[in-house]
Amino acid sequence: VEERTIRQLKVHEGYNRKTQANDIALLELEQPVECSNYIQLACLPDASLRVSELTNCFVSGWGATTEGAGRPTDKLQEAKVHLIDTNMCNSSGWYKGAIQSHNLCAGHPEGGIDTCQVGPGDNSAPAL
């Protein structure tokens, strides 16, 4: 296990605690981290990629792995999920208008694999 101290935390200037809009931050560490078999760089897409043209993505996080589990897992989880149309996500049977235009809605329409309020930890999980 390698631990690092955070030198600086930069929260997005448009972050809204109530709506969770712009829920992202950058961490500057006191010491560099060296890549190894256990520490790898995240692969980022080309800046010209249009997310609206994608059908799938990967999500990751340490949140609960079953509904009602109550506590997060201690291992980073990853899942391949479908990108779902925002209008469908905002329907009365799903999120009733809670998904904003700047959000992605991803999971499986039949449920079971997502980052949605299953338990603490993964709401607003990164999509890669």
Find, among 81, 38, 29, 45, the residue nearest to 60 by Cα.
81
Q: Mark whether 84 and 48 lie in a shared domain.
A: yes
User: Which CATH number do you get for residue 26?
Assistant: 2.40.10.10
Q: Mark whether 22 and 71 lie in a shared domain.
A: no
Q: Mark whether 30 and 82 lie in a shared domain.
A: no
The confidence score (pLDDT) of residue 120 equals 44
Q: What averages of pLDDT result for each successive group of 10 residues across the chain (128 residues)?
A: 92 89 91 91 85 85 73 82 88 83 81 61 58
Compute the Cα dihedral for 9, 13, 15, 21 and give only its sign. Answer: negative
Q: Mark whether 25 and 85 lie in a shared domain.
A: no
Q: Mark whether 21 and 49 lie in a shared domain.
A: no
Classify 2 as helix, strand or coil: coil
The confidence score (pLDDT) of residue 77 equals 84
Is the full-model pTM beyond 0.75?
A: no
Q: Mark whether 52 and 84 lie in a shared domain.
A: yes
The confidence score (pLDDT) of residue 34 equals 92
Q: Mark whether 28 and 12 lie in a shared domain.
A: yes
Quote the Cα angle for 26-32-41, to 5°.
65
Q: Mark whether 48 and 101 lie in a shared domain.
A: yes
Q: Mark whether 65 and 93 lie in a shared domain.
A: yes
The confidence score (pLDDT) of residue 13 equals 96
Q: Mark whether 33 and 58 lie in a shared domain.
A: no
User: What residue numbers bound the domain in which 63 lies?
Assistant: 42-128
Quote the Cα angle for 8-28-43, to 5°.
145
